[in-house]
Amino acid sequence: MDTIILKRTSLNITTYCNLKCKHCIAFIPYYKDKVMLSYEEAKNILKNYFMVVDKVGHFNVTGGEPLLNPDVCKIMQEVFSYENQISTNIDFVTNGTLELPSELLDLFERWKGKSKIILSDYGKDLSTKIDKNESLLIKRKINYRISKFYGDNLYYDGWIDFTDHSLKWPDKESRDNNSKKCVHSVGQYYVINEGELHRCSRSFFRMKTGIIPKKQGEYISLIDNASLEEKKRQLKIMQESISTTSCAYCVGLCNNIPRVEPAQQLGGGKQHEENRDNELLSKNE
């Protein structure tokens, strides 16, 4: 079988989050059925992923807020067990609202030569544990990065509003042309959500919510009964495609797209609870 090498993959271990960011790139506030990946589920997904994928450059663990997952340390231990198939780095992304647990810090200290913790900083009102977590990381000499998402000099110049899912690129040529400018497409990013491997989180969300149909060659299930050969064949199709159906409904993570203020919080209250899950889809009606 052909060797498959990916540049980047992110594993989403929960769609629970203690923030409600309106423009979350993973659409976390808009999922009706929240998912908390168990250790056993993660173990099976990782085993199957690393059977299909021979090598990956960067492997990220994210959410939601991954520190909310009670199995987070066991899951990270499992990820580190595949270090020989991860050529560059193992990253962990957290929003700075919770203190990093000692057990997790122990793991990153042990594998400090091949790992990094990424602290998303949304300012003192939201990311209340940034300073504490940074001091813990410095004390243990663990590699880390702070992605600043408030005030001036924003990381990536801020966020993009992906909440309009209307058709934007009606033909394959225009869709491909825009995809060639998208950071995720050009950088060959992949995400694992609920046992499915997608080109990006927008693809998974649009398929899950029925905005676009599920289509072979645009995702693969890592937990179904398809043969290893078939999974590799489908992933090869994904690798060789310039764009996917999801790209037709997306502005893309492109440098020329206007930015919005990061981490704007959705409102609370009963009316919000009733309506927030439908906010994205209502834009297309």
Give the integer Cα–Cα distance in Å for 238 and 30.
Answer: 26
pLDDT in tens, 216-235: 999 999 999 999 999 999 99
State the pLDDT at residue 268: 60
Which of the four pLDDT bands, split at 50, 70 and 90, describes residue 275?
Answer: very low
pLDDT in tens, 143-190: 999 999 999 989 989 999 999 999 999 999 999 999 999 999 999 999
What tokens appear for 3 in the block?
């060797």
- Lateral strand order in the sheet of 55-62: 144-148, 115-121, 86-94, 55-62, 5-12, 189-193, 196-198, 219-221
pLDDT in tens, 35-76: 999 999 999 999 999 999 999 999 999 999 999 999 999 999
Contact residues for 234 (Cβ-Cβ < 8 A; gap 6+):
216, 217, 220, 226
Q: Over 70: is that where the pLDDT of 272 sits? A: no
What's the mean pLDDT in 95-107?
98
Give the integer Cα–Cα distance in Å for 280 and 120.
Answer: 24
- Evaluated on CA atoms 260, 264, 269, 270, the torsion sign reads positive
Give the integer Cα–Cα distance in Å for 205 and 200.
Answer: 9
State the pLDDT at residue 137: 98
- Give the pTM: 0.92
% of the chain exceeding 70 in pLDDT: 94
- Sketch out the chain's domains with CATH numbers: 5-282 (3.20.20.70)
Q: What mean pLDDT, rounded, does the chain reach?
A: 94
Contact residues for 99 (Cβ-Cβ < 8 A; gap 6+):
129, 132, 133, 136
What's the mean pLDDT in 189-195?
98
